[in-house]
Amino acid sequence: MKFLDHLEEWLIATLLGAATLVVFMAVLHRYLSGLDIPVMQDFLISLNTSWAQELCVIMGVWMAKFGAAYGVRTGIHVGVDVAINRLDARWRARFIVIGLLAGALFTATVGALGANMMLHTSPDQTSEVMELPMRYVYLCLPLGSWLMCFRFLQVLVAFMRTGELPQHDHAYVEGLDEEIADAGKGATP
């Protein structure tokens, strides 16, 4: 389980970082190859970076699918909770369970639809530039969705046991405590 958690975190962080670098490189390449420097210019022009956009998009989609599963675990997917927060604790808990089950149902269905689509994609069908087999590109749909389904069930079990839901803090700011401590010491505001 720990292993799966780490793999998930490692995967989405790496995909985002790599996608950023790929686009950065492509832009850099476009401008550097416009500079009139002998040898380097010829070499740069010989490199082809037309695949960059496609790779970036595919990495983005994979990040989105697995990141959504990670988000269930950290409670980042929010809903409209004004209504249920006004109910008494027992009914509120019931609606939370319904919500989590609905999440599991939806992601399980979507995972099955994705798997079905993947299997019906011809192995010859490839992406436009890099010619990756689309079949494997689509793999993120069933894998991501089923992982998300599993996460919903995990949160559900934890909620039944402890009555607690993961809470994401949308307003967390890194390094703020030190600044507040400094300001409190009477430094000029």
Residues 88-107 that bind other proteins (CB under 8 A): 95-96, 98-100, 102-103, 105-107
CA distance 21 to 25: 6
* Contacts to other proteins from residues 129-158, by CB under 8 A: 138, 141
Return the number of the residue (35 or 82) whose C-beta is nearest other proteins: 82
Return the number of the residue (44 or 68) whose C-beta is nearest other proteins: 68
Cβ contact 41:35 at 8 Å: yes
End-to-end CA distance of the chain: 47
Return the number of the residue (58 or 153) whose C-beta is nearest other proteins: 58
Q: Which of 36, 128, 180, 185 binds other proteins (CB under 8 A)?
A: 180
Tokens of 88: 């008494």
Rounded least distance, CB 92 to other proteins, Å: 8
Decide: is 50 part of the binding site for other proteins (CB under 8 A).
Answer: no
- Residues 17-46, one symbol each (x = binds other proteins by CB under 8 A, - = not), give x-xxx-xx-xx---x---------------
Using alpha carbons, list the distances in angstroms from residue 35 to 23, 26, 88, 186: 19, 15, 68, 53
Rounded to the nearest 10 degrees, what angle do helices 51-74 and 140-162 cross at? Answer: 10
Q: Which of 4, 42, 45, 74 binds other proteins (CB under 8 A)?
A: 74
Phi and psi dihedrals of 184, rounded to 5?
A: -65, -25
Decide: is 117 part of the binding site for other proteins (CB under 8 A).
Answer: yes
Rounded least distance, CB 136 to other proteins, Å: 13
Decide: is 86 part of the binding site for other proteins (CB under 8 A).
Answer: no
Q: Which of 29, 41, 49, 76 binds other proteins (CB under 8 A)?
A: 76
CA distance 139 to 116: 11
Instruction: Compute the residue count for the chain.
Output: 189
Rounded least distance, CB 179 to other proteins, Å: 4
Cβ-count burial 101-115 (b if 16+ within 10 Å, e if not): eebbeebbebbeebb
